[in-house]
Amino acid sequence: MDRIRAVFIDRDGTINQEKEYVSRIEDFQLIPGSLEALKLLTQHGVKIYIITNQAGIAKGYFTEEQFHRLTEYMIRNFESEGIKIENILYCPHHPDGVIPEYTGDCLCRKPNNKLIQDVVEENHLRVDEVALIGDKNTDIEAGSRLRMKTYLVETGYGAEEKKRTNATFVKKDLLGAVVHLLNSERKAEKDLNEL
């Protein structure tokens, strides 16, 4: 097994509490353990990409500028904790949108995976070097289509979604998923060393 070099993590319901269309700083609340999970990934040199569908932009609930303001707040908080985020990948589109430039089908909205595929190709990553963590089966499908290891977390929508998931693993939360991912990697390295 090759070392995990990058992880794609959903935002709402995985990193922060799921609330309908989170767009205001005061509504952004981290799920317990998320900060520790992201710190662990940073400490182990794993690149973190946050990937999020933001249909609220297409539906007119908030603007792209509001999304960027919240994103900047989130990144500042993470940086103050020593967490490095490589990039925020987001899709502002939705077929049922009311803002014309964001309305319609696209290749970037999960379960489609153009945003992930672009990062994988640009960074010359192999599927066995990446993993995806999310609370919805649309997240899982985006990773599965590229044959990468996937984790469904039971936060957000995950408790319901786990009843019919194809995720490689189901874990209680982001911290549980990250600990499992890193421990699996260490065990694989140990097994290889013992050959």
Report pLDDT for 3: 87
The answer to whether residue 150 scores a pLDDT higher than 70 is yes
Residue in 2, 10, 27, 139 annotated catalytic = 10
Indicate which residue of 2, 12, 128, 135 is catalytic.
12
Q: What mean pLDDT do residues 143-163 have?
A: 97
Residue 184 — very low, low, confident or very high, per pLDDT cuts 50/70/90?
Answer: confident
Active site (annotated) includes residue 118 = no
For residue 42, what pLDDT is reported?
98
- Per-residue model confidence (pLDDT) at position 63: 97
Is 12 annotated in the active site?
yes
C-beta of residue 41 within 8 angstroms of C-beta of residue 178? yes
- CA–CA distance, 172 with 134 (Å, rounded to integer): 11
Neighbour tally for 98: CB within 10 Å = 11
State the pTM of this model: 0.93
CATH number at 14-178: 3.40.50.1000
Looking at residues 16-20, what average pLDDT do you find?
93
Q: Is the pLDDT score of 192 beyond 80?
A: no
> Across residues 9-24, what is the average pLDDT?
95
> Is the Cβ–Cβ distance between 31 and 173 less than 8 Å?
yes
* Percent of the chain scoring above 70 in pLDDT: 94
Q: What is the pLDDT of residue 2?
A: 58
Q: What is the mean pLDDT of residues 3-20?
A: 96
Task: Give me the helices (H) in 44-173, please.
Answer: 55-58, 64-80, 114-122, 137-144, 158-161
pLDDT of amino acid 190? 56
Q: How many residues does the chain have?
A: 195
Domain ranges of the chain: 14-178
- Statement: residue 99 has pLDDT above 70: yes
Tokens 């182990």 belong to which residue?
Answer: 44
